[in-house]
Structure formats: C-alpha cells, structure tokens
Structure 1
Amino acid sequence: MKSINLQRTESLLMELIPEALSTLNDVRICSLPITGVNCKNGKYDATVYFDGSDFEKNEIAGVISALTKANGRIKEYILSATGWYKCPTFKFVNDTSLESSKNIEDLFRQIEKKKKDES
C-alpha cells in the first residue's frame, strides 16, 4: 500500500505531465494521453504510462525516444510548477491495458452474438 504523500505526488504528476507535454513542439507527444504514473523510491523514479493506441507498433519506439529526449524539459516544467527541489526521473511505457480490455470486450460481444445465434 502506498503512502498518502506518494499517491498525492502521482496524482499531481498525472496533471502536470500532460501540461508539460503540451508546451513541446513535437506533434507526436504534445497531446499524448497519460494513463498513469507509478512512483518508486519516493520521488526519485516514476514510470509514466501513455496511451499509444493512435500509433502503429513500429512508431511507439519513436514516441518513447521523443519522450525520453523531452525528459529534461518535462522536469523543468514540473519543478517550476511545484517548487519541488527534486523531480523524478521519468521512464515512459506504452500502456497496453486499454488494448487488452478492448479485446476482452470484443470477446464478450462474440460470446453474446453466438448465444443469440444458437437460440
């Protein structure tokens, strides 16, 4: 179970990271949906999950690379917005949970259709 302070930090980062991305000039990442933030080691490391469903699988690596290059600017934005003395180092990961939940929904639809066809 996470501490309240860590949960607050994650929540604040969920708000600030998209704001920071919107200030960048890269069209691939300036409006990228952030789906989650998971802080580890206090505020020293954070895994940032994004929804890459608008991109082809071969484009995801380029998006992650662009995000990694923008890490310094994102940190600067967050430090200026929060007044923190230290900002986490971000690791960006494509969130595939949305895709898998969509696949599960499709399976449920197929089962429902099959039951209707049988009756």
Structure 2
Amino acid sequence: MTPEEIKRKRANSILRELIPEALSGLADEQLRGLTVTEVVCSKGRSDADVYLDPTGIDEDEQRVILKKLKKVTRGLEAYCLKAEGWYKSPKFHFKFDQELDRVKRMDELFAKIEKELNG
C-alpha cells in the first residue's frame, strides 16, 4: 500500500466519523437521522462520495433529502475542515447506498434456492 493510499484511507475513516457529527448538529430532523455507511475519497482527495443508508426512506424522500444536503454541503465541509485542521476539505457528493438493497435481495434469493433444494 502506497503512502497516498494510506492517506486516502485515513481521510475516508475520519470523514466517516465527522460527517455524522456534523449532520447531528443540523436543525433539520430528517438530515440528523441519516446514517453514513461509507465515504470514498477520490485519488487526490478533492472529492468524496458519501454513501447514506436508504433503509426506511422511499425514493421521493431520498430526492428531497439529497436536495437538502446539497444546500448544507458547504457547512458540512467547513465543519470537517475546522475539526481536522485541514488546509482543504474534499467536496462531498451524497448518494444513497444501493449496495445494501442488492445484498439483501441476493440473500433472499439464496434462501429461496436453498429452500427449493431442501424442500
């Protein structure tokens, strides 16, 4: 693992802790309740994809939440910048993590196949 990869992984980890802290300080109840599942920084750490848990949130609500997040992104970036004393914060790009749904569906399919084989 190169030093650059180590720095990027460290930044991912730090942001995975700081972003929920920043969200919890917001006035909007909908944004305070969000769960960050993963943060992936780009190679130069200038951008970061922030993945959110979509459990219990329908597609219409997801669109509304993403619009709200777009409005407060600068404040969240400033919070992380100040908390870590960084010179520059990555630009956050919020997305709902669809991987969780995919894994759940795969588990259901495997359970169904197992039931058919055994039954």
TM-score, normalization by structure 1: 0.91
The CA distance in 1 between the partners of 2:69 and 2:55, in whole Å, is 16
- Alpha-carbon RMSD across the aligned residues, in angstroms, is 1.3
The change in CA–CA distance for 1:41 and 1:112 in structure 2 (over 3 A counts) is: closer
How far off is 1:41 after superposition?
Answer: 4.2
Q: How far off is 1:98 after superposition?
A: 0.3
Distance 1:58 1:31 in 2: 17
Report the equivalent of 1:107: 109
CA contact (8 A) 2:8 2:43 kept: no
Q: CA deviation at 1:31?
A: 2.2
Matched, 1:85 2:115: no
Query: In the alignment, what sits opposite 1:52?
Result: 54
State the alpha-carbon separation in 1 of the partners of residues 54 and 110 from structure 2: 24
The one-letter code sitting in structure 1 at the alignment partner of 2:87 is Y
Q: State the shift of 1:78 in Å.
A: 0.6
The sequence identity of aligned pairs, in percent, is 39
Inter-partner Cα distance in structure 1 for 2:118 and 2:49: 43
Give me the whole-angstrom Cα distance separating, in 2, the residues matched to 1:104 and 1:54: 19
**Equivalent residue for 1:13?**
15
Correspondence for 1:35: 37
After TM superposition, where is structure 1 displaced by more than 3 Å over at least 4 residues in a row? Answer: none
SS in 1 for 2:29: coil
Which whole-Å CA distance do the structure 1 matches of 2:56 and 2:9 have between them?
A: 28
Structure 2 partner of 1:66 = 68
Q: Name structure 1 gaps, 5 residues minimum.
A: none
Equivalent AA in structure 2 for residue 107 of structure 1: L
Size of the aligned set, in residue pairs, is: 117
SS in 2 for 1:3: helix
Gaps of 5+ in 2: none
Q: Which residue identity is paired with 1:63?
A: I
CA distance in 2 between counterparts of 1:69 and 1:56 reads 20
Paired with 2:29 and 2:104, the residues of 1 have a C-alpha distance of: 26
